[in-house]
Amino acid sequence: MNLPNKLTVMRIILIPIFLLLLVLPMDWGTVTWLQTAIPVTQIVAAIVFAVASITDFLDGQIARRNHLVTNFGKFADPLADKMIVMTAFIILVAMGKAPAWVVAIIVCRELAVTGLRLIIVENDGQVMAAAMPGKIKTFSQMLGIIFLLLNNCFFQIWHFPLGTILLYVCLFFTIYSGIDYFVQNRSVFSDSFNE
């Protein structure tokens, strides 16, 4: 197994660790920083999520640069990304840190674009590359999740809800990039409307 695939597998392994840190009743105490109390388990979960986010960036870069792209990587990399992001968003809803309707839109878009990618691969044998709006969506998702887990501790002194702002930036780019992917690939569905 090459290095990019190992990083992807590591990201998949981090998902249950991340989940357990946030759902098991563990009391490791709290840390107060800049007038914000944060449970230690949330800090550790944010670190785990940040490591997973970094491996998401690294595995793709390494695979493309060193010509190590594999079918496993094409399948597992986007799956791992969606699994950890969806897990994080669902937990943030349960914690009262993200509105359920925002997360529902994000999850529905992710499922729809994944389905579109599968159809394109089946029809053309090509993998649909991520466009810039999709990359902005992913970046704002990952950063927003980290700030929400850390209770906006870096900006709390100014009462600036950066995590929530990033969540809505993510929502905008989720909708925009989802529409863009379907418009750019509308020919995939041409057989459905020519009857």
Q: Specify whether the CB–CB gap between 70 and 2 falls below 8 A.
A: yes
pLDDT for 34:
61
What are the percentages of helix, strand and coil residues in the chain, rounded to 5? 75, 5, 20
pLDDT for 157:
55
pLDDT for 154:
65
Q: What is the rounded distance in angstroms from the CA atom of residue 99 to the CA atom of residue 101?
A: 6
The residue assigned the tokens 């900006």 is 155
Q: What is the pTM of this model?
A: 0.85
Q: Specify whether the CB–CB gap between 2 and 68 falls below 8 A.
A: yes
Question: What domains does the chain contain, in order, with CATH numbers?
Answer: 3-185 (1.20.120.1760)
Q: Which amino acid is at 33?
A: W
Give 125-180 pLDDT, tens digit per residue. 666 666 788 888 988 999 999 999 988 766 655 667 888 889 999 999 999 999 99
pLDDT for 35:
67
Residues in the chain with pLDDT < 70? 33-35, 125-130, 153-159, 192-195
